[in-house]
Amino acid sequence: MLLAIDTATRMPSLALYDGECVLGEETWRSADGHTVELVPSLVGMLERQRVLPSELRGIAVALGPGSFTGLRIGLGVAKGLALTLAIPLVGIPTLDALVYAQGRKRGPVCAVLQAGRERVCAAFYRRRRGQWQRQGDYRLTTLDELCADIETRTFFCGEIDAQATELLRERLGAKAVVASPASSLRRAGYLAELGWQRLERGEVDDPATLAPIYVRHPPIR
pTM confidence score: 0.93
Digit-coded pLDDT (tens) for 33-56? 788 999 999 999 999 999 999 999
The pLDDT, as a whole number, for residue 219 is 44
Distance of CA 70 to the CA centre of its chain: 12
Superfamily of segment(s) 2-93+187-200: ATPase, nucleotide binding domain (3.30.420.40)
Digit-coded pLDDT (tens) for 87-132? 999 999 999 999 999 988 888 999 999 988 889 999 999 998 888 9
Superfamily of segment(s) 102-184: ATPase, nucleotide binding domain (3.30.420.40)
Numbered ranges of CATH 3.30.420.40 in the chain: 2-93+187-200, 102-184
CA distances for 36 relative to 39, 41, 70, angstroms = 7, 9, 12
Residues 6+ apart with CB under 8 A from 214: 64, 65, 68, 71
What are phi and psi for residue 208, nearest 5 degrees?
Answer: -70, -25
